Amino acid sequence: MDKKERLEKYKKELQEKKRSMWNDLREDYFRKYGTDHSAQFEIPNDLEDLSVIDHLEDLGLTISDLRKEELVRLEESLRRIDEGTYGVCAGCGAEIGEERLKVQPYAAYCVRCKGEIEAREGGRKPTL
């Protein structure tokens, strides 16, 4: 599989994950409040549209910080694909390994740079 095909594969996977997360949020909301505000659940196209989350929280839906962070990371990854920088380390500019992207498709840093960041942030063990 060439690079263009791999990027398209990752883009589809990330878009599907995004749809799935928004569907989960929709189901949580509908279970709690009914379908009166169903128009609020259009899937955002980009990071600016993530203000929808703030609006949903104003309506009473509790969204964990981890879910918010994951949605932001999804959007950032999709943006990097569109810009042609997906798979390139934001720290050193090296290519992020295929194995790392398979495990962590949101990865913006190679293993080495991510380890250095985590070490500076408190000595935690590097993660994929």
Enter the pTM of the model.
0.70
- Closest to 77 measured CA to CA, from 11, 128, 16, 126: 11
Which of 21-30, 46-55, 90-99, 115-124 has the least mean pLDDT?
Answer: 46-55
- Supply the pLDDT for residue 123: 58
Question: What is the C-alpha to C-alpha distance for residues 113 and 104, in angstroms, rounded to an integer?
Answer: 14
Look over the chain and give the mean of its residue pLDDT values, rounded to a whole number.
80
Question: What's the confidence (pLDDT) of residue 46?
Answer: 58
Residue 119 has pLDDT above 70, yes or no: yes
The whole-number pLDDT of residue 88 equals 96
For residue 68, what pLDDT is reported? 75
What pLDDT was estimated at residue 86? 96
What Å distances lie between residue 60 and 26, 30, 63, CA to CA?
13, 11, 9
